[in-house]
């Protein structure tokens, strides 16, 4: 009896594995982009990009509504040439500072500083994309002090992977682990004159994750994962919406950096090469590499990849 059960169990297990293998061998071909333009069209049509505005829903609580900007980010700015500057230690192996500052807009991530690193990463920051740990748990001092440029003289955008959700009658923050929304509300009360950050709609992150999975299955270039997309990936897709041309610095690494260091500003943080960390880094890199107009050899030499903005992409 026991043996039969075990056999049955193993049989079912084998069948499941077989079905899985077959499914991954024969992907849903309706979604396979045949060309680089096809992939750009997927970014344009399958990933919904916007920020939450006062207008987004019928807010029951007026104090929730007041945290949010009136208009959306995509209706507030647009640029010709943009730089997306990663926080990678690889930036220290080049001197891209001047080149980065010459773009029409520069995007940086989280608490990445420019001071003392100008030669390598430039000095201007137009947009800063932050995760939900800020300002509750990280770079609080910079966020709260009006005389520090970081966050204060930049457009701030909050990465939102389903933490701040849009419910029929307002904001649902049950999944907001780091209480970013409550912190911003509090901050709005104490800093009435400060411009509040833009908060990405939850669908943006979810759509990126779905699109990455679809890409991996369709192309076989990567393995589908349950890990969430990194803030870097959010930033690249966001800038594709806001810019005609997007130059991505050291998200696809050059072959120059033989150290095992992670950040250009923190020599203690070790690289996550082996574990991959919490995010879908390898999938994203494949994706961005496929979108890139720059050859693999040039990326290997420079760590810079050029992508074209979505307003240049025509989709039927």
Ligand X SMILES: *[C@@H]1O[C@H](CO)[C@@H](O)[C@H](O)[C@H]1NC(C)=O
Q: Which residues 172-211 are close enough to bind ligand X by CB under 6 A? A: 185, 192-193
In sequence order, which residues have a C-beta less than 8 Å from that of residue 248 and are 6 or more positions away?
84, 86, 236, 288, 292, 304, 305, 306, 307
Q: Output 99 or 203, the one with its CB closest to ligand X.
A: 203
Residues 98-137 interacting with ligand X (rule: CB under 6 A): none
By C-beta, is 102 or 148 nearer to ligand X? 148
CA distance 157 to 196: 9
Three-state DSSP class for 199? strand
Among 55, 58, 95, 259, binds ligand X (CB under 6 A): 55
Of 6 and 28, CB closest to ligand X: 28
> 53, 183, 230, 292: which one contacts ligand X (CB under 6 A)?
53
Q: Is the CB of 52 or the CB of 252 nearer to ligand X?
A: 52
Upstream peptide bond of 222 is cis (omega within 30 degrees of 0): no
Positions 66 through 85 that interact with ligand X (CB under 6 A): 70-71
Peptide bond into 92 cis (omega under 30): no
DSSP string for residues in 65-78: HHHS-SS-GGGT--
Q: Which of residues 228-257 bind ligand X (CB under 6 A)?
A: none
Q: What residues from 140 to 179 belong to the interface with ligand X (CB under 6 A)?
A: 145, 147-148
For the CB of residue 29, give the shortest distance to ligand X in the complex, in Å: 8
Burial 38-54 (b: 16+ CB within 10 A, else e): ebbbbbbeebebbbbbe
Could you tell me whether strands 170-172 and 165-167 are parallel, antiparallel, or unpaired per DSSP bridges?
antiparallel
Among the candidate windows 13-21, 53-61, 124-132, 280-288, which touches ligand X by CB under 6 A? Answer: 53-61
- Across-strand partners of 81? 245
Residue from 24, 48, 58, 61 in contact with ligand X (CB under 6 A): 61
Closer to ligand X at the Cβ: 104 or 142? 142
Strand partners, 32: none
Closest distance to ligand X from the beta carbon of 70 (Å): 5
Secondary element (H or E) of residue 155: strand 155-158
Nearer to ligand X, 68 or 239 (CB): 68
Residues that bind ligand X (CB under 6 A): 28, 30-31, 53, 55, 60-61, 63, 70-71, 145, 147-148, 185, 192-193
């Amino acid at each position: 009896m026991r043996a039969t059960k075990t056999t049955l169990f193993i049989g079912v297990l084998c069948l499941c594995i077989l079905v899985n293998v077959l499914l991954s061998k024969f992907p849903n071909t309706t979604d396979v982009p045949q060309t680089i333009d096809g992939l750009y069209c997927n970014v344009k049509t399958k990933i919904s990009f916007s920020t939450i505005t006062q207008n987004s829903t019928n807010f029951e609580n007026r104090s929730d509504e007041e945290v949010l900007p009136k208009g959306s980010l995509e209706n507030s700015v647009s640029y010709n040439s943009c730089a997306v500057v990663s926080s990678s230690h690889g930036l220290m192996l080049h001197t891209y500072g001047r080149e980065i500052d010459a773009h029409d807009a520069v995007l940086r991530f989280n608490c990445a500083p420019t001071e003392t690193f100008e030669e390598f990463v430039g000095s201007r920051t137009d947009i800063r994309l932050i995760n939900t740990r800020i300002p509750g748990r990280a770079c609080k001092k910079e966020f709260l002090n009006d005389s520090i440029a970081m966050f204060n003289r930049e457009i701030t955008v909050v990465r939102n992977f389903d933490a701040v959700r849009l419910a029929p009658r307002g904001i649902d923050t049950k999944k907001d682990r780091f209480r970013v929304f409550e912190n911003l509300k509090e901050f709005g009360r104490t800093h009435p004159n400060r411009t509040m950050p833009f908060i990405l709609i939850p669908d943006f992150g979810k759509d990126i994750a779905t699109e990455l999975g679809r890409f991996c299955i369709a192309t076989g270039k990567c393995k589908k994962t349950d890990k969430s997309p990194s803030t870097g990936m959010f930033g690249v897709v966001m800038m594709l919406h806001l810019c005609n041309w997007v130059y991505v610095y050291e998200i696809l690494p050059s072959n120059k950096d033989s150290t095992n260091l992670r950040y250009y500003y923190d020599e203690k943080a070790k690289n996550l090469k082996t574990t991959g960390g919490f995010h879908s880094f390898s999938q994203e890199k494949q994706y961005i590499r496929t979108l890139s107009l720059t050859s693999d050899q040039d990326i290997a030499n420079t760590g810079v990849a050029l992508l074209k903005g979505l307003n240049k992409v025509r989709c039927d």
